[in-house]
Structures are given as structure tokens and as C-alpha cells.
Amino acid sequence: MPRVALIAHDDEKPEIIDLVTDHESLLASFDLVATGTTGQRIAEETGLEIERKKSGPVGGDTQIGAEVVEDRLDGIVFLRDPLTAQPHEPDITALLRICDVHDVPMATTRTSAEYLLDGLAAELEETV
């Protein structure tokens, strides 16, 4: 079962909820992990089971980075606000670096997230 992390800056939380809602049946077959607030909002809106880490400002993104290092993630969706991210929001730079080092895909836009999810769905179908 693919394991995917979900992270979103504050202004992008509605977009990640919309993305998850649109792909809910697919994501129900995935093992999902998210930073605290993002995970809470997704769970409340969809009912999907999500392992919640700490909120981004207190280290949730670092916890997700550790999962990349431990080879526990197949991909990350990090919808970020490149123009108005707030100082308290997770910084993508370290997480992007660790994903590059460990060859784990990270999507930072809605379109790239859909490609990532489609790719993981195709891999899932191949194993069935």
C-alpha cells in the first residue's frame, strides 16, 4: 500500500482538502500521513484515516522528513504558498533536499500532485 504525506501552507489548506476530496476513493487505499493541522482538517472534511504528526511549525515537516530517510514514504504532496508563506509555516527547502537525496517524489502544485497520485495508483494496480 502506498504511503503518502500531505502538507499544506495555511492559504493552501482549502486546495489540499479539495484535492483529497476529489481523489478520496483512491486515497482510501493509501496509507496517509500529514502534518497536524492539515491532517486534522482533511480527516474532518473527508473521514479518511490519517496519521497525524506535529503541526509544521513545531516539527511535523521534520518528522515527515525522517520518514523519507527511513524509506517509509512513497511520495509527498506539499502544497505551498510560494508568494506569501508565513514565518511560522514549514519550510520546504530541507524537505525537498531530503526527498532529492532519497529519490522520493514531492509535488508542490495541484497538477503535480495529481500526477504523483496517478503514478502511485498505477504502481498499486501493477501489484494487484
Q: Which of 18, 22, 31, 61 is catalytic?
A: 61
The verdict on whether residue 88 carries a ligand-binding annotation is yes
Cα end-to-end distance, the chain, whole Å: 10
SS3 call for 32: strand
Contacting residues for 58 by C-beta, under 8 A, at least 6 apart: 36
CA separation (Å) from 54 to 59, 88, 101, 106, 122?
A: 6, 13, 23, 19, 30
- Say if residue 108 carries a ligand binding annotation: no
The answer to the question of whether 37 is labelled as a binding residue is: yes
61 is a catalytic site residue: yes
39 is in an annotated binding site: no
Residue 127 marked as a ligand binder = no
C-alpha radius of gyration, the chain, whole number: 13
Residue 35 annotated as binding site: yes
**Binding residue numbers for substrate:** 9, 13, 35-38, 55-56, 88
The annotation places the binding site at 9, 13, 35-38, 55-56, 88
Q: Which residues are catalytic?
A: 61
